Amino acid sequence: MLTWQVAGHGPLRALDERLGRAVASGGLPAGPAEFLADLGNTAVALPVLAAAVVRSLWRGRRDARQRAGDGAAPPRWWLPPLAAALTAAAVPALVVPLKLWLARPGPAAMAGAPDGFYPSGHAATAAVLYGLAALLLYRGRRQTPGRRRVGPAVASGLVLLDAGVGTGLVRRGYHWPLDVLGSWCLAGVLLALWWAVCDRWAAGERRAVGLAWTPRARGHREGADGARPAAP
């Protein structure tokens, strides 16, 4: 709906531009707004995601070695961080064609810049890359009662961070509000797909581990080790 309103010069687009001019004219001080807007730069967000990917790979490799030593089927520990890297690469692959197709002019502060402000690349980068980093770390935590309390805290932190980046972009006149909202919608789809894919892999891994540790499988394994096989 947002894209249709922007492309068709609908009433929501006119309201959006009035709101954008009002936000850019005052409110949040320029210094903090610039800082928040800069958090959407790839040079800032990409190292954060890279650190989370490296930590996820290290922890997954360590856990896989422990499980292999216990005789369990080794999990595909490298799949969530690999999927995170591919999801991050999908951001410019989706945002840039939309920008070129819609060619929306920017606010007055961006006069002279080439058209193509919807959706916001900075807002999409911040939402997806920081979101992936947080979700990678969250999924890597052990299943404990405290893990249930971490989820809402992670979600709240991401919402506040994305809201700050979006507010900074509009306050500094780099984007219209709908540019930011469209990027958040896109980010929500990408993060949900990443989570669904990881859950599917995890479910297949649990099935594989469960089959590996059935009583019959344990009996064959003990027999191979020279111990007495389990009774049928």
Backbone phi and psi for residue 86, each to the nearest 5 degrees, phi listed first: -65, -35
Assess if residue 115 is contained within a domain: yes
Q: Does 227 reside within a domain?
A: no
As given in the structure block, the two tokens for residue 21 are: 């001019």
Q: Say which amino acid occupies 103.
A: A
Whether 118 is in a domain gets the answer: yes
- Say whether pLDDT at 186 is over 50: yes
Read off the pLDDT of each residue in 62-79 and give the average, rounded to a whole number. Answer: 70
For residue 13 the two structure tokens come to: 């687009």
| CB contact at 8 A, 219 and 71 | no
Task: Calculate Rg over the CA atoms of the chain.
Answer: 23
Within a domain: 194: yes
User: How many separate domains does the chain show?
Assistant: 1
- Looking up tokens 């945002």 gives 95
Q: What is the SS3 assignment for 179?
A: helix
Report how far residue 187's alpha carbon sits from residue 185's, in angstroms, rounded to the nearest whole number: 5
The mean per-residue pLDDT over the stretch 152-159 comes to 87
23 occurs within a structural domain: no
pLDDT class of 213 with cuts at 50, 70, 90: very low
Indicate whether 81 belongs to any domain. Answer: yes
Instruction: Tell me the residue range of the domain where 44 lies.
Output: 37-64+75-209
85 in any annotated domain: yes
Residue whose entry in the numeric block shows the structure tokens 């807002």 = 123
Q: Would you state the pLDDT for residue 199?
A: 83
> Of 41-45, 196-200, 212-216, which gets the smallest average pLDDT?
212-216
Per-residue confidence (pLDDT) for residue 70, from 0 to 100: 58
Judge whether 204 lies within some domain.
yes
Q: Rounded to whole angstroms, how far apart are CA atoms 188 and 156?
A: 14
The CA distance from 212 to 218, in Å, is 8
